[in-house]
Amino acid sequence: MCGIIGYSGSKSAAPILVQGLKKLEYRGYDSAGLALSAKGEIKVFKEQGKVARLEELIKNEAGDLTSYSAGIAHTRWATHGAPMRKNAHPHFSPKNGIALVHNGIIENYESIKSNLIAQGYTFLSDTDTEVLAHLVDFYYKEDLQTAVSLAIKDVIGTYGICAMSEQEPGVIISARKGSPIVIGLADNETIIASDASAIINYTRQVIYLDDGDVAKINGAQVDIFTTEASPVSRATSEINWSADATEKGGYEHYMLKEIFEQPTAIRNAIRGRLDLERGNAILSGLNISSRDLVTINRLVIVGCGTSMNAGLVGEYAMEDFAGVLAEVEQAAEFRYRNPIIRSKDLVVAISQSGETADTLAAVREAADKGALVSSLVNVVGSTIARETERGIYLHAGPEISVASTKAFTCQVAALLMIALKFARSRRMSSDQGIKFCQDILAIPELVEKVLEQNDAIAKVAESYTDYPSMFFIGRGYMYPVALEGALKLKEISYIHAEAYHAAELKHGPLALLTETMPVVALMNKGPGKEKTLGNVSECRARSAPILGIITEGDEEAKKVCDHYIEIPDSPLHSATVTATVALQLLAYHVARIKGCSIDQPRNLAKSVTVE
């Protein structure tokens, strides 16, 4: 979840590291720090808060740093120890001058810490990472690579690390287990990071480390080893998006930019994957033949948060159109409850980053149980993509805002294509398949029509900024949309928001309804609409304000709403996307009016790489 960047080359490292931290700040922004190496000396700078405060500290106190041509830096999302300067990375062990940054959790840090204290080491922070810095120092015998390899053998947990020693100027050792590390290859220099967004300004050529890899970097020289010091080779990949994709492009916030990018992102996700003549999906990345497809008896979808909500849409579509049993599992629970998995099951792991720790653990558990495992990820070269070796890349482009938007809608589009593929291998006719293809192809234009209502939705949002809590309700396909809408609102506006299946209101939640508890009701045309209208009437009878998400021109629905947002008429499986976009805009504008930190909401980070 934290952001890591390292540099070794011929340039001054400090400006490159600071700019990299700014690119990575969406991964953590409790505190930040950097360590610079030159001529047998390491200088460490740390500051609580965002990267801008660290940058100001360096400007005011650092002096001339141009001779420091290697360094490591970190922006933190706190796990062990509160956000404060003493807990910021890098951590430094003075005996051998070891500086280290770390993303992950060291689960056995307390026992290691006790042993190191007995060896005379002094701890200045409350973090688990300082243990790792001292442990590397303990093992250091004039070779940093060996010291790091010995240290990581002792730890239980996850890590993506970069380490330096005062005795080896210019050398950076990086290792990973469960937390991503990508190495950018450039002329006369190397950039190491936890995310390619910090590298793209310098090179598109990258190497993704595998779990258990230990990389030694010195200038442009990159060598990769196992922890036993055996050399290994890793393929070079190319980043397939431009540096401009990580800029705001004139928008006030990344979130708003990414909401407006959704028509293009969805077109990219479905481009070349629909065969209108045959009414089928072309999903070669799944690497499953039509003959093998018919042998699959069950689809199990695993994910967390927004990805799990998208998975619920996929569950409904699979059962509706393909007649295939589908289940959505919370990835964090999947391996711990010993799930029933069979050889004729297809497990689909959904993760925007492709690095979500719980989802990666679910992938490994499903593989161990003999299931066919696939993935939907947005990041090429990510760990989940590499471990599943089959799946669908979303091609949504980088998503910088912590609150996921375009990843969700692209995930839904991909899941609809999977449902189509399965349905055509069963009883869906070619004519029905053609109609389904047309539904999916129409989604980007439908989203554009919702985005045209941005100003109107902003006006509606003005009426909902002062409420402490809100309910979201829906039925069928609209229930996952309610879940996602409530998640977006609570993430960025800090309004307590809960989503319920509309029928569940009578089973307890109705007791909370008063004139201070608005209800956002998804009442789109289709099966279940009349029942939802009845539920809304029950809410109105208890004085709850009603904000309706309704089908364009639905006069019946308008009558029961205090405010409403209209979305284009479309089948419910398509309306899941357009209704979600409307709720994304609603959440955005509520948070904007309240003055919240939209792209970097408190306590949250983009990529959850710890369990």
DSSP state of 209: P
pLDDT grade, residue 117 (50/70/90)? very high
Q: Let me know: does 167 contact 149? Beta carbons within 8 Å.
A: no
Can you give the pLDDT at residue 611? 52
Q: What is the pLDDT of residue 186?
A: 92
* CB distance 196 to 239 below 8 Å: yes
What residues are paired with 157 via a beta bridge? 106
Q: Which residues contact 499 (CB under 8 A, 6 or more apart)?
A: 471, 472, 473, 474, 479, 482, 483, 485, 486, 487
For residue 607, pLDDT over 60 is answered with no
**pLDDT reading at 69 higher than 90:** yes
* Whether the Cβ atoms of residue 401 and residue 253 lie closer than 8 Å to each other: yes
- Is a pLDDT exceeding 70 seen at residue 1? no
- Which of 169-183, 343-357, 381-395, 595-609 has the least mean pLDDT? 595-609
Higher pLDDT, 387 or 163: 163
d(CA 280, CA 437): 7
Tens-place pLDDT, residues 10-39: 999 999 999 999 888 776 678 899 999 988
Average pLDDT over residues 420-443: 96
Q: Are 100 and 134 in contact (CB under 8 A)?
A: no
Percent pLDDT > 90 in the chain is 71
Burial-class residue 487 by CB neighbours within 10 Å (0-12, 13-18, 19+): buried
In this prediction, residue 379 has a pLDDT band, given cuts at 50, 70 and 90, of confident
Annotated catalytic residue 606: yes
Question: CA 315, CA 125: separation in Å to the nearest integer?
Answer: 46
Checking if the pLDDT of 4 tops 80, the result is yes
Residue 243: the pLDDT is 66
User: Contact, 136 vs 153, CB < 8 A?
Assistant: no
Specify the pLDDT at position 509.
87
List pLDDT tens digits, range 174-217.
Answer: 999 988 899 999 999 999 999 888 898 899 999 999 999 999 99
Cβ burial, residue 149 (10 Å; 0-12/13-18/19+): buried
From the number of C-beta atoms within 10 Å of its C-beta (0-12, 13-18, 19+), residue 11 rates as: middle
- The pLDDT score that the predictor gives to residue 275 is 95
Query: Which domains can be identified in the chain, with CATH numbers?
Result: 3-239 (3.60.20.10), 248-450 (3.40.50.10490), 453-611 (3.40.50.10490)
Shortest CA distance to 33 belongs to which of 16, 46, 20, 23?
Answer: 46
Averaged pLDDT of the chain: 92
pLDDT reading at 149 higher than 90: yes
CB 297 within 8 A of CB 425: no
H-run or E-run covering 347: strand 345-351
Which tokens in the block code for residue 146? 């060996």
Instruction: Determine the pLDDT at residue 115.
Output: 95
**Is pLDDT above 70 for 561?**
yes
Residue among 2, 437, 561, 596 flagged as catalytic: 2
Over range 270-290, report the average pLDDT.
Answer: 93
Q: What pLDDT was estimated at residue 81?
A: 72
pLDDT tens per residue, range 288-342: 888 889 999 999 999 999 999 999 999 999 999 999 999 999 998 988 888 889 9
Helices in 62-140 by DSSP H: which ranges?
109-118, 129-139
Residue 118 pLDDT: 96
φ/ψ of residue 21, rounded to 5? -60, -40
Say if CB 185 and CB 360 are below 8 A apart: no
> Which pLDDT score, from 0 to 100, does residue 466 have?
95
- Per the listing, tokens 């049993």 go with 325
Strands 41-48 and 214-218: unpaired
Please state, in angstroms and rounded to a whole number, the distance separating the CA atoms of residues 47 and 34: 9
- Binned at pLDDT 50, 70 and 90, residue 239 comes out as confident
pLDDT 10s digits, 205-218: 999 999 999 999 99
Encoded tokens for 363:
């992938």
Report in angstroms the alpha-carbon separations of 343 from 205, 329, 346, 369, 384: 38, 17, 8, 8, 20
Which one is catalytic: 216, 257, 421, 606? 606
Active site residue 506: no
pLDDT band at 606 (very low <50, low <70, confident <90, very high): low
pLDDT digits 0-9 by tens, 390-428: 999 999 988 889 899 999 999 999 999 999 999 999 999
Sheet-wide strand order for 372-377? 325-330, 298-303, 345-351, 372-377, 391-393
What's the length of the chain?
A: 611
Task: Note whether 193 and 199 are within 8 A (CB).
Answer: yes
